[in-house]
Chain A
Amino acid sequence: MRFCLRLLLRQLALAVRRPIEIGQPLMFFAMVIALFPLGLGPDPGSLAGFAPGVLWVTALLANLLSADTVFRSDFDDGSLEQLLLSPQPLFLSVLAYIGAHWLTTGLLLALVSPVFALMLNLSPAVIGSLVMGLLLGTAVLSLLGCVGASLTVGLKRGGMLISLLILPLYIPVLIFGTAAVQASLDGISAVPYLAMLAAMLCLAIALAPLAVAAGLRISVDA
């Protein structure tokens, strides 16, 4: 457990030393969201209608693109081999990587999302359910995204592949995440949808690290 915590801190230290990499998913998020009014037209009413979906799809993509890099540098410099040989339980080590990824992308995305929600003319009343949904949902996305990353990290031309593998798995999160926002818009409680996201998170925490661990062993061995 202490090892896991140290690994988490190391990953965070690495991220902090190259802050631009933390900024990238956020900038991507901002830019893609700016594209939608340009494509859909500036009418505030229709933008507000699309806003829950736009915010969530963009968060999905930002998460996916950054998940691709979680194990990449460790694979390239050989640190991953050392991790697999370490006597520590791989399940926890993997959780540390995923946790660091969530802290540097999902958490930040959720925190800045109110700004973009307001830019898309989303009612301030629903921001609570948007942020809560993103907090829970991006954690699931990080877990699933790392499964894809672990399976493609050994491939030289893996870039696009991870999207093909993982985007279909993101669908339930997208559905319940947008539904939570929509429910608040309609004046209904968003709690059931958030509870669904939390349930998915529990399932993903229990199972995804197993798949990631298996994926890493395969990738290092390939």
Chain B
Amino acid sequence: MWSFFHKLGSPPWLYSIAGTVLRYLLPLTVLALASGTVWGLLFTSPDFRQGNSYRIIYIHVPSAVVALAGYYVMAIAGAVSLIWRMKMADVAMKATAPIGAAFTFIALFTGAVWGKPTWGAWWVWDARITSMLVLLFLYLGVVALYEAYDNKEAAGKACAVLSLVGMVNIPIIYKSVDWWYSLHQPASIKFTGESTIDSSMMYPLLLMIVAFYALFTCCLLLNMRTEILRREARTQWVKKLAEGS
């Protein structure tokens, strides 16, 4: 257990193991994404109320789920780097922030595209959309803070503190936004809520969620590998690697 933990802190080991994982995970991800997309877009029946426009959930919902999970990945990586001073956790945290922001943006964008035919407006202040917007702000705050520091080691620590503060706050923000929405929302236009989803639509959605998690992991590992190379640029093993290729 400890030796594994120790290895996890070693940049060359993590770099190579991430490469190995990617070699298998990347094709699987592409496969899952492709089959989930085809299944969802072509082989499910249209929704009786929303017609074909609902099919955007196969991108919208998975990206929203992953975006939220990504924040926790970032905060936990930040906690590990603060508590055990593990540099590779710092790398993971730094690598997660832009990816999480991108997934959040995808969720918001697809939500807007979906909103146009459904609600007749690109943007409504729905509880979930508002929460996703706040999540985007939280991600962007971490990215902005990291970039503002010249000393990147301090930047990592500061972002770790910020993401931990954010992690404590996210449930509170979500609950209060939910509650705020229910306070201001006349009950008649409630679209989401207790809407059920047919299993024929559900299975491709589950597949897409798994595929998006895999995609997130791939992006994270790729980004981490880049970051490791950047930080270790002057070490022997990176120089050897650069000469070898």
A residues near B, CB below 8 A?
144, 147, 151-152, 154-155, 157-158, 161, 164-165, 167-169, 171-172, 175-176, 179, 200, 203, 207-208, 211, 214-215, 218-219, 221-222
* A-facing residues in B141-177 (Cβ within 8 Å): 141, 144-145, 148-151, 154-155, 157-158, 161-162, 164-166, 168-169, 172-173, 175-177
CB-based contact B176/A168 at 8 Å: no
- Stretch of B91-99, B101-109, B132-140 with 4 or more beta carbons under 8 angstroms from chain A: B132-140
CB-based contact B137/A164 at 8 Å: yes
What chain B residues lie within 8 Å of A211 (beta carbons)? 161, 164-165
Complex CA gap A58/B69 in Å reads 33
Complex CA gap A164/B149 in Å reads 15
CB-based contact B141/A172 at 8 Å: no
CB-based contact A168/B134 at 8 Å: yes
Complex CA gap A172/B176 in Å reads 6
CB-based contact B173/A158 at 8 Å: no
CB-based contact B180/A222 at 8 Å: no
Complex CA gap A219/B141 in Å reads 17
* Chain B interfacial residues counted at CB < 8 A: 31
* A-facing residues in B172-191 (Cβ within 8 Å): 172-173, 175-177, 179-180, 183
CB-based contact B82/A214 at 8 Å: yes
B residues near A, CB below 8 A?
82, 134, 137-138, 140-141, 144-145, 148-151, 154-155, 157-158, 161-162, 164-166, 168-169, 172-173, 175-177, 179-180, 183
What chain B residues lie within 8 Å of A151 (beta carbons)? 145, 158, 161-162
- Of the candidates B138, B148, B161, B168, the one whose C-beta lies within 8 Å of that of A215 is B161
What chain B residues lie within 8 Å of A154 (beta carbons)? 149, 154
What chain A residues lie within 8 Å of B179 (beta carbons)? 175
Complex CA gap A169/B158 in Å reads 16
Complex CA gap A17/B177 in Å reads 41
CB-based contact B166/A169 at 8 Å: yes
What chain B residues lie within 8 Å of A167 (beta carbons)? 137
What chain B residues lie within 8 Å of A215 (beta carbons)? 158, 161
CB-based contact A155/B149 at 8 Å: yes
CB-based contact B176/A161 at 8 Å: no
Residue of B nearest to A151 (CB): B158
What chain B residues lie within 8 Å of A179 (beta carbons)? 180, 183
A-B contact count (CB 8 A): 82
CB-based contact B165/A168 at 8 Å: no
- Of the candidates A144, A157, A200, the one whose C-beta lies within 8 Å of that of B148 is A157
Residue of B nearest to A168 (CB): B137
Complex CA gap A204/B144 in Å reads 24
- Of the candidates A158, A165, A175, A214, the one whose C-beta lies within 8 Å of that of B177 is A175
CB-based contact B157/A218 at 8 Å: yes
What chain A residues lie within 8 Å of B165 (beta carbons)? 144, 147, 169, 207-208, 211
Instruction: Report if A168-B173 is in contact (Cβ < 8 Å); known contacts: A175-B180, A218-B158.
Output: yes
Can you sample 6 A-B contacts with CB below 8 Å? A155-B148, A158-B148, A168-B173, A172-B169, A175-B179, A203-B172
Complex CA gap A118/B175 in Å reads 32
CB-based contact B172/A200 at 8 Å: yes
Other A-B contacts than A155-B148, A168-B141, A172-B176, 19 sampled, CB-CB below 8 A, are: A147-B165, A151-B158, A152-B148, A154-B149, A154-B154, A157-B148, A164-B141, A165-B141, A169-B166, A179-B183, A200-B172, A211-B165, A214-B161, A218-B157, A218-B158, A218-B161, A221-B154, A222-B154, A222-B155
CB-based contact A165/B172 at 8 Å: no
Complex CA gap A218/B158 in Å reads 7
What chain B residues lie within 8 Å of A214 (beta carbons)? 82, 157, 161
8 tightest A-B CB contacts, nearest first: A222-B154, A172-B176, A168-B137, A165-B141, A175-B180, A175-B176, A218-B157, A222-B151
